[in-house]
Amino acid sequence: MKKKKDEQGLNVLEMFGATEPAVKQDADHTRSEEKPLNVPLVNDNNAQQQTSIVASESYKAFGSNNAAQQQLEIRLRGNRGLWLYYPFITKSEYDGDQSMTFVCHDTSYIIRGKNLSKLRNHYRTHRIEYIQEFDPSQFKALPSPELPLIEEIEIIEARSENSGE
């Protein structure tokens, strides 16, 4: 009975071309085991579609949530990024609505841009999920002038006194 179930399962795989016999049927009609093939992904064009979606997606300087977040994702140009845990941010500063600075241990993250007051207000309550540096290769157009824009994120690491520099 178990052999029959296995054969039925293989028959379904055969119907979709997902198996190939390891050895063809012998002259005495005994069936050898079949092994699954490497079946291609259902939507092989998914990666290509994803790239075009991202390239045409409109830019958002930050994403926020109604609930407090545990971490803040910083998305940099060139498909790079990092995460900061809110509890480890020891100091935050702002200069009008053109810049904000987060200090986390021995590293400072300076965010420069325009119309950052909404970002600042959401940051105070830890509701920011991510902040995103504008990347012209990823986004086709700048946001409208009244929306937030992060032009640059500068990361400055403090020098160690023991490094001899």
Residue 142: predicted pLDDT? 86
128's tokens:
């920011």
| 82 vs 32 pLDDT, higher one | 82
Q: Mean pLDDT, the chain, as a whole number? A: 76
pLDDT at 36 over 70: no
For residues 22-47, give the mean pLDDT: 47
pLDDT at 143 over 80: yes
Instruction: Give yes or no for a contact between 148 and 116, defined as CB atoms under 8 angstroms apart.
Output: yes
Instruction: Give yes or no for a contact between 129 and 73, defined as CB atoms under 8 angstroms apart.
Output: yes
| 14 vs 48 pLDDT, higher one | 14
pTM confidence score: 0.62
Distances from the Cα of 58 to the Cα of 8, 62, 119, 142, angstroms: 49, 12, 18, 8
Task: Label residues 62-91 b or e (16+ Cβ within 10 Å = b).
Answer: bebeeeebebbbbbbeeeeeeebeeeebee
pLDDT at 110 over 80: yes
pLDDT at 129 over 90: yes
Which DSSP category does 121 fall into? Answer: H
Residue 140: predicted pLDDT? 84
| 12 vs 138 pLDDT, higher one | 138
In the chain, count of helices (H) and strands (E)?
3, 10
What confidence tens digit (pLDDT) does each residue in 50-108 have?
Answer: 333 344 478 999 999 999 999 999 999 999 999 999 999 999 999 999 999 999 988 99
Residue 27 phi, psi (nearest 5) = -60, -30
pLDDT at 163 over 90: no
